[in-house]
Amino acid sequence: MLDLDLSEDQEMLRGLVRDLCSDLAPLDTVRALEDDPVGIAVELWSKLGELGLCGLMIPTDHGGSAMSLLEGVVLYSELGRALAPVPHFVSCVLSAGALLKGAVAGPDNPGPDSQQSTANGPDSSSGERLGLLRSIASGDTIVVPAWTEPGGGHSPRGIQTIATADGDHVVLSGSKMHVYFAAAADHLLVAARSGAADTDIDLFLVPSNSAGVSLEQRMSISSDTQYRVDLDNVVISSANRVGTAGSGWEIWDSVMNEAAILSAALAVGGAERALEMAAEYATNRRQFDKSLAEFQSISHYLADARTELDGARLLTYEAAWAHSRDLDIARLAPMSKLFACRVYRDITAMAQQVFGGIGFTLDYDIQLYFRRAKQLQIMWWDTAECEDRVAAAVLD
């Protein structure tokens, strides 16, 4: 039965992450890193690795803590609340998740131990590294997915980067958009087309310093660190394929179902903090000899926001709880992402109205949440993709 009360350990986790973000990446740091080429709060990232939080959901065999998605939601609610500028989502969730799910022995993939030791290329040895997953879990290595393409959307049909077999090597050609923290990444996890069918997709680990890889930073509504990545006949070992040939889309889709729940948790955390800021301002700001909160219209806006936020939190925890019980999350994952991101966007828009015109100025922190709410809504399954997936579950 779903229990919304956090355990003692989960409460400790929440307090720990909140303190870390407050001390090592306050909003002044978030502001300073906007549009930064690297974009990472280095002290916070280092501490997350040192305390085992980078590997929170990675199995113990690979240096992680093997916690469930419920603990992940606790962590991500705090990261979302702080707008923490760290590559945890792209490296420790998406990329690590793909590596774990792709660790299946087969003729094109000798197995997880070989895959981890050859991730830097055919000349790497297991003696030189503890393994890529272990390095991700410590925060020492950053791997970022290069998934979406210009005008490609979120479906497998949108992937037009071509993977061409050439003996023991693969040649990659194409372009990727919205690649987070690409300049800081040691490897790119590239989705590429290997056949004509929609789902003929493979995932490849590409060292970021490979010949033919070029980066171009792109500005975003949230001023976070995103890149366009061009792959011009990039040659890698076929051993750098993640999973067996043709399994890339199945792996990625499975990872995204779990990641969508954590995206929802980011939204819940951000929305909660934005609502607190709006309530505080409404309480302290006086107009016509009374606080803004004393105006019924303002108080009702805040009440509606609180109600929607609690609904988003409940749906997010239900999805994480279902995953922890090995239940199907094909419907709950996109539902939680869809609803939580909509609530985040609506609450920050309402908060902007409470602040008035000054809320849109750079002097006020509420605009940081307003811009990131919209960015999160259109990333990692946008509204239309989530609706399509929920509709498919409803109509099945």
**Under DSSP, is residue 131 helix (H, G, I), strand (E, B) or coil?**
coil
With 60 as the cut, is the pLDDT of residue 112 above it?
no
> What gap in Å lies between CA 266 and CA 376, rounded to an integer?
9
Q: Give the global pTM.
A: 0.90
With 90 as the cut, is the pLDDT of residue 304 above it?
yes
**Under DSSP, is residue 355 helix (H, G, I), strand (E, B) or coil?**
helix
How much is the CA Rg of the chain, to the nearest whole Å? 21
| Least confident interval from 211-215, 285-289, 303-307, 358-362 | 285-289
Provide the pLDDT for residue 297: 86
> What gap in Å lies between CA 179 and CA 69, rounded to an integer?
24
Kindly list the distances between the CA atom of residue 282 and the CA atoms of 132, 296, 347, in Å, as whole numbers in the listed order. 49, 12, 14
With 80 as the cut, is the pLDDT of residue 3 above it?
no
> What gap in Å lies between CA 389 and CA 339, rounded to an integer?
13
Q: Which amino acid is at 122?
A: P
With 80 as the cut, is the pLDDT of residue 117 above it?
no
Q: Which helix (H) or strand (E) segment is 190 a member of?
A: strand 187-193
Provide the pLDDT for residue 1: 65
- Specify the higher pLDDT residue, 286 or 146: 146
> What gap in Å lies between CA 318 and CA 315, rounded to an integer?
5
Provide the pLDDT for residue 168: 93
Residues 90-101 have a mean pLDDT of: 95
| Least confident interval from 103-117, 120-134, 151-165 | 103-117
With 50 as the cut, is the pLDDT of residue 4 above it?
yes
pLDDT band at 291 (very low <50, low <70, confident <90, very high): confident
Task: List pLDDT tens digits, range 57-74.
Answer: 999 999 999 999 999 999
Proportion of the chain above pLDDT 90, given as a percent: 81
**Under DSSP, is residue 228 helix (H, G, I), strand (E, B) or coil?**
strand
Residues 309-332 have a mean pLDDT of: 96
**Is the distance from CB of 387 to CB of 393 less than 8 angstroms?**
no
Report the helix count and the strand count for the chain, using DSSP H and E.
Answer: 12, 10
pLDDT band at 348 (very low <50, low <70, confident <90, very high): very high
Provide the pLDDT for residue 330: 94
Residues 319-347 have a mean pLDDT of: 97
Task: List pLDDT tens digits, range 226-270.
Answer: 999 999 999 999 999 999 999 999 999 999 999 999 999 999 999
Proportion of the chain above pLDDT 70, given as a percent: 93
Provide the pLDDT for residue 290: 85
Provide the pLDDT for residue 121: 42
> What gap in Å lies between CA 240 and CA 229, rounded to an integer?
18
- Specify the higher pLDDT residue, 126 or 202: 202
Please, is 55 exposed, middle or buried when counting C-beta atoms within 10 Å of its C-beta (0-12, 13-18, 19+)? buried
Mean of all residue pLDDT scores within the chain:
91
> What gap in Å lies between CA 25 and CA 322, rounded to an integer?
32
